[in-house]
Amino acid sequence: MAARNDDGMDQAITLHKDAQRTAGVTFAARLTFDDIHHHYQGKETIRGLSLTAEPGEVLCLLGPSGSGKTTLLRIAAGIEAQAAGRVVINDREVSGPSGFLPPEKRGVGLMFQDFALFPHLNVLDNVRFGLTAMAGKAASAEALVALDRVGLAHCAEKFPHALSGGEQQRVALARALAPRPSVLLMDEPFSGLDSRLKDTVRADTLAILRESRATAVVVTHDAEEAMRMADRIALLKDGRLVQVGTSDDLYRRPKDIFAAAFFSEINEFSARVSGGRVDTPLGSAAAGALADGTQVDVAVRLSDVSVRESGGAIPARIISRRFVGVVELLDLAVPGTERPVRARIRADILSPGIREVTIAVEPKDILVFEKTQENPYIGVN
C-alpha cells in the first residue's frame, strides 16, 4: 500500500513518535489586506477593502454569496491577484506593487470547501502530499503527527472513500496543518456536512486550531457558525467591509440594517425623526444624534417582540402560529402597519386557540439606522 513506501510504515511510526516529542506549534503570522481592489469580467468584486487578521486569532469572513469572501481568500493564498492594493504577512509584502510571492513561499495553508482529497491515495499519503520539502520517511512521520492532532492516526492506511464526511474533513485539515502554516485559510469548511455532524466537527476543528495556534481565516455565509468560531467577524457585502468586531459587537451594535438582519430575523420599518424620536408601530425610540426630518430604517428582532395574552402596550391579532419545538413563530396583525409583525416566543406561553393578544417591545430593542440611498437589507437568514 502507498502508506508503506519509504522503507515501511514501521520506520515512519518510529520517526512519528520522535516527532511527537519535538513537534512545536506554528508561529502565527499577521495577515493584512491593504486597500484591496479586484475585478472579474469588468465587474468590481472587491472595493478598497482593508482588514487585518491578528496573529493566532480566528477571523471569520461572513457575508452573502457574491460579497467577495472567497475571492479575498484566494488573493491571500496567491491563487488570484488583486487589481490594486497589497497583501502583507507580518511585515513582508507578498502581493502588491513590490512584487508577487508564489503560493508555496507564503507559509499559507488552504483548505478547500470540498476537501479535495485524492481518491487514489490513502490517508497518510494525502496528508503527506504537501510536505514536498521533506524526505520520504520524515514526511511520513510529520504526516502522522498531523493525523494524530486530528485524532485519525489509526486511519493512516485507509482510503478517503472508506471515511465518513467528518473524517474526510479532518484529513483535509490535517493536510493543511501538516506544513505548519503561519496562516490557515478555510473556505466554507463545514458546508458539506449534515447538520447533525456539523456542530461536533466544528467544535473539534476549533480546538485543533487553538492548539496549533495558527492564524485562521474562515469563510462562511452562516452567521451562527461565525459567532461560534470567531474571535472576530468581518461582515462583507458587495466587496466592501460593512463591519468588523466580536460577535457581541456585531449582534448588539450593528452598524446598519444589513448587519442587523444578517445576525437575526427582523421586522423592518421606515420612519422619520421627529422631536429627537422615531415612532413605529411597535413603539417609540430615541433617535440619538440624528437630526429631525432624517429618514431612517428601523429594525426589531423577532425575539424582542414580547407577546402576552394581556397587559401589553399594543393590541394584536394572531394571523398564523407555527410550533417549531422550544419556540413558536407568530405572524401578527398590528395597528399602524399593513405588513404582519413577526415574533419568536417560547412555546406554550399562549393558550391554545387564542387569537386576540397584546405585544410589547422595550425601547432599547428598537434599532434605528439612518436610511441610505441603497437599502442594504436583503432578507438574509
Pairwise CA distance, residues 46 & 48, whole Å: 6
| Banded pLDDT at 194 (limits 50, 70, 90) | confident
Residue spans of the domains in the chain: they are: 2-250, 265-370
Higher pLDDT: 9 or 199? It is 199
- For the chain, the average pLDDT equals 89
| Residue pointed to by grid coordinates 423592518 | 268
> pLDDT-derived band of residue 300, with 50, 70 and 90 as boundaries?
very high
Residue with the larger pLDDT of the pair 26 and 82 = 82
Q: Is the pLDDT of residue 294 over 60?
A: yes
In tens, the pLDDT along 94-135 reads 999 999 999 989 999 999 887 889 999 999 999 998 787 787
pLDDT at 4 exceeding the cut of 60 = no
C-alpha cell at 74: 484566494
Amino acid 379: pLDDT: 37
pTM (two decimals): 0.87
Cα-based distances in Å from 338 to 92, 335, 361: 57, 8, 18
Provide mean pLDDT across the span 353-372: 95
What whole-number percentage of the chain has pLDDT above 90?
76
Three cell numbers written together for 141: 512521520
> Whole-angstrom Cα distance, residue 39 to residue 202?
33
Determine the average pLDDT of the residues in 155-159: 95
Reply yes or no on whether the pLDDT at 262 is more than 80: yes
Let me know if the fold of 2-250 is the same as that of 265-370.
no
Sheet of strand 306-308: strand arrangement: 306-308, 356-360, 314-323, 327-333, 341-346
In what side-by-side order are the strands of the sheet with 58-62? 108-111, 183-187, 215-220, 58-62, 232-237, 240-245
Q: What are the tens digits of pLDDT across the range 60-90?
A: 999 999 999 999 999 999 999 999 999 999 9
CB 171 within 8 A of CB 117: yes
The answer for residues whose C-beta is within 8 angstroms of residue 22's C-beta and 6 or more apart is: none
- Average the pLDDT over each of 89-98, 324-333, 367-376 and give the range with the smallest value: 367-376
pLDDT for residue 316 is more than 60:
yes
Record the cell numbers describing residue 14, joined without a space. 518510529
Top pLDDT among 348 and 299 is at: 299
The larger pLDDT score, comparing residue 365 to residue 12, is at: 365
Strands 232-237 and 58-62: parallel
Please give the CATH number for the structural domain made up of 2-250: 3.40.50.300
Cell numbers given for 63 = 457575508
What would the mean pLDDT of 38-51 be, rounded to a whole number?
Answer: 94
SS3 call for 145:
helix
Confidence tier at 25 by pLDDT (50, 70, 90): low
Task: Give the contacts of 166 (CB within 8 A, at least 6 positions apart).
Answer: 193, 197, 200, 201
Judged by DSSP in three states, 336 sits in coil
Instruction: Tell which residue, 373, 378, 374, has the closest CA to residue 65.
Output: 378
pLDDT at residue 24 in the model: 43
For 99, the grid coordinates are 512584487
Q: Say what the pLDDT of residue 20 is.
A: 43
Which option is the CATH number for 265-370: 3.10.129.10, 2.40.50.140, 3.90.1300.10, 1.10.275.10? 2.40.50.140
Question: Facing residues of 261 across strands?
Answer: none
Write out the E strands in 16-83.
Answer: 31-40, 43-53, 58-62
| Position 12 pLDDT exceeds 50 | no
Return d(Cα 171, Cα 205) in angstroms, integer.
11
pLDDT at residue 175 tops 50: yes
